[in-house]
Structure formats: C-alpha cells, structure tokens
Amino acid sequence: AGVGSQKDRVVTQEEWLRKWELGNIGFHKEQGHPLLQKYLDVLLNGRSGLRIFFPLCGKAVEMKWLADMGHSIVGVEVSEQALKEFFAEHSLPYCEEAVPEISGAKRLRSTSGNISLYCCSIYDLSSSIVGKFDGVWDRGALVAVNPCDRQRYVSLMITLMEKNSSYLLVAVSYDSNKHKGPPFYVPESEIKSLFG
Ligand code: SAH
C-alpha cells in the first residue's frame, strides 16, 4: 500500500480524455487557485510581458488571469474538449492551427494572440517548438504525471525554462495509503531531488 503502490500506477491518456467526457474534473477550480494570487510576485518578480507556461493545463482559469495582465500564455493539454471549454467559458475567440513539427497535434490560439494552447502530449513538445519560458505555473501537473514519467517530465521542464525563470509548483500533502492518485503524492524530498 501507500507510496509503494502509487509508483506503478499509470493513468493513460484515454482515461484522462474520458474524465473530461464524463465531467469527472473535480480538479478544475472555477475560481482559480488562491496560491497563484499569494505567490504572484514570486512568479513575476517585478517583470512584465512574460512568457508563462502551463503544463497539463486543463482549462485553468489562471491562464486568463495572467493573459489579462499582459503576459503571453502557452499551455499543453491532451484533451481538446478541455481547451475548447476554456475558450468558450471565457468567450474568447480562437483559431485552430496544425503544428507541423508534431503529427496529429493542434494549436488553439486566441485571436488576440496571447494564449496559445497545444493539444498534444507534453512529451511531444520541445524548446524548438514552443520556445523557452520566464515562468511556469505547475498546478495539477507534476502531481498528475505518472510516477514512472516524473524524471522525464522534470527534465523536459528544465529545458523549457529561461535562465531567470520562476517555477511555481503546487503539491498536495495527503495520506497516500488512502488514495491511489492522481494527484499522486510527491514528497518534498523527491521534488528537491527531481529539480536538483
Ligand atoms: N493544471 C490543470 C489541470 C490538472 S489535471 C488545473 O489546474 O486545473 C491534469 C490534466 O493533464 C488533465 O486535464 C489531463 O487531461 C492532462 N494530461 C494528462 N496527461 C497529459 C500529457 N501527457 N500531456 C498533456 N496533458 C496531459
């Protein structure tokens, strides 16, 4: 039981798509996350017009908040439904584009141009496709990644960060004996060793 049993657990992309279809999206926060407000200064560090990345973005309303503050948002999400709901719920017009570097992927981009959401797996991205970022909002992302993919995820994230970027990570502390995840329990010691 416990963390041991979570280690081998895999949530497939099909399972995620199904959650969106069924509306099993208890992770979505209609009102946005209070910790982003609390740590906004840490993320921005006095800078404006940042490029901010939302890994495993779902339809996180924080993308709209930060875009409204003048930042450029890039997100990635396997569920096209999630991305379409995002644009619809904020009444944002958008267009769909192919992503030549990634077969089968799409990019949904707000007509105003400052929100660009990739519909594909995060593992399909690289800095040559999406560039590098000044800030990352990782809420429900590292903790949703399958435990066997954590190292790969973090290594990729590091390649997507500019030198002076800030990375806000929300992790949840809970009794991993009572819940098999996601979110998975990622102990603080593991977060430290993953990011080095
Ligand atoms: N960050 C969002 C969503 C968290 S839930 C929020 O704060 O609300 C995790 C999301 O990751 C789900 O929407 C799921 O569809 C998506 N996802 C899971 N695996 C993925 C992958 N490999 N690449 C991109 N998105 C993925």
Q: What is the pLDDT of residues 168-186, one digit of tens each?
A: 999 887 888 888 888 899 9
Pocket lining: 56 vs ligand 1, CB cutoff 6 Å: yes
Tell me the CA–centroid distance for residue 141 and ligand 1, in Å. Answer: 6
- The residue among 91, 63, 90, 95 whose CA lies nearest residue 77 is 63
Q: Whose CA is nearest to atom 3 of ligand 1?
A: 58
Contact 18, 189 (CB under 8 A): no
Ligand 1, pocket-test mutation among 11, 16, 107, most atoms within 8 A of CB? 16
How is domain 13-195 classified at the CATH fold level? Rossmann fold (3.40.50)
Confidence band for 7, pLDDT divided at 50, 70 and 90:
confident
Residues 6+ apart with CB under 8 A from 107: 96, 97, 98, 99, 116, 117, 118, 119
Determine whether the annotation assigns residue 56 to a binding site. Answer: yes
Chain mean pLDDT for the chain: 95
Residues 6+ apart with CB under 8 A from 33: 60, 62, 139, 170
pLDDT tens for each residue of 112-160: 989 999 999 999 999 999 999 999 999 999 999 999 999 999 999 999 9
pTM: 0.96
